Amino acid sequence: MTHPAIQRGNVAVVTGAASGIGLAIATRLAGIGLNVCLADLPGDRLEAAAEAVRTAGAAAVLAVPTDVADPAALTALEARVTAELGPVNVLVNNAGMQPGSSIFDAEANWQRIIDVNMWGIIRGSQILAPGMIAAGGPGLIVNTGSKQGITTPPGDPAYNVSKAGVKAFTEALQHELRNIDGCQVEARLFIPGFVFTPLTANGRTEKPAGAWTPLQVTDFLFDALGREDFYILCPDGDVDRRTDEKRIAWAAGDIVENRPPLSRWHPDYGAAFKAWLER
C-alpha cells in the first residue's frame, strides 16, 4: 500500500530528477505506472534520465528543462505538464544544491543556494498546488528537507538556512491544506540521511560504507508514504533512528534549557552530549 495519489495513470512531477534521489523517485513512480515529468537543468543528463525512466513502465515521460529558482520557469513547467499530461497528482520538490558555504561567503553563493533549495520548493508548491487542489482528487506534495535543517550543524550555514526554511514551510503548507474544505492534497517532509549522490560525492567515485544508495532511500520513502508519517526521517548505514531522535531532541533542548546555540559542538557541552547520547 502507498499513498492514494500514487496510482497508475496519474501524473507526477519530480524536480531535480536528472540524477540521484530525484531520478530514483521518478523511476519508481514510472514503474508503478504514473505519467512522469522530470524537471531539472537543461542538458544531456536530463535527456538521459528521461530515457532511463521511459524504460521503467510509465505510459508517458516528459523532460522539461527547469531552473527551479526562476518562478517563470516553474509557471511554464506547470502549464506544459498540465497541457501534455493532465492535472498533477504528485509533486516531488526535490531539486537542491550543496556547494558549501561559510558565514562570510559572497552574497551570490548564499543567494543561489537559498533560491534553489528553499524558494524552489516554496514557489514550486505555490505554483502547482492550486491546480492539484482544484482537481479534487487525492494529491501529494513531497518536499525534500535535510537533517541539517533541523540540527543545523556548523560548517555549511547557507544550506542549513535553506533546509530549515523547507521544514517550516512544509509544516505550514500541510496545516493549510488540511484546513481547506474538501481538499484531498497533503504534504510530507522527506528527510534523507547520508545518501551517495552527485550532491554528496565530493569527488568520491565509490559509495562510502555508511551511505545509503538513492534506491534505498526511495524504498524508505515509499514505505513511509503508505503510512501517515509527515516527518519521513530516514536512517542510513551510520545513524539509526534512535540517534537521530536524540540529536534532534538535544538541539531543541538548547532553547528549552538555555544552553549556547549548537551546544553539541561547544567545548563546554560536547562531553555532556556524548554521555547523554549513550544513555
Domain residue limits, the chain: 11-238, 240-279
- The model's confidence at residue 210, banded by pLDDT at 50, 70 and 90, is confident
Q: pTM for the full model?
A: 0.95
- What is 11-238's CATH superfamily? NAD(P)-binding Rossmann-like Domain (3.40.50.720)
Q: Say which of 147, 163, 167, 231 is annotated catalytic.
A: 163
| The pLDDT of residue 203 | 67
β-sheet bridge partners, residue 141: 91, 187
For residues 67 and 106, which has the higher predicted lDDT (pLDDT)? 67
Mean pLDDT of the chain: 95
| The pLDDT of residue 105 | 83
| The pLDDT of residue 2 | 86
Q: Say which of 159, 167, 246, 274 is annotated catalytic.
A: 159
- The model's confidence at residue 200, banded by pLDDT at 50, 70 and 90, is low
For this structure, is 159 an active site residue? yes
Q: What is the DSSP string of 135-190?
A: H-S-EEEEEE--THHHH--TT-HHHHHHHHHHHHHHHHHHHHHHTSTT--EEEEEE
Cell of residue 35, nine digits: 505519467
What is the dihedral angle through the alpha carbons of 8, 117, 219, 228, rounded to the nearest 10 degrees?
Answer: -70
CB atoms within 10 A of CB 269: 18
CB atoms within 10 A of CB 198: 11
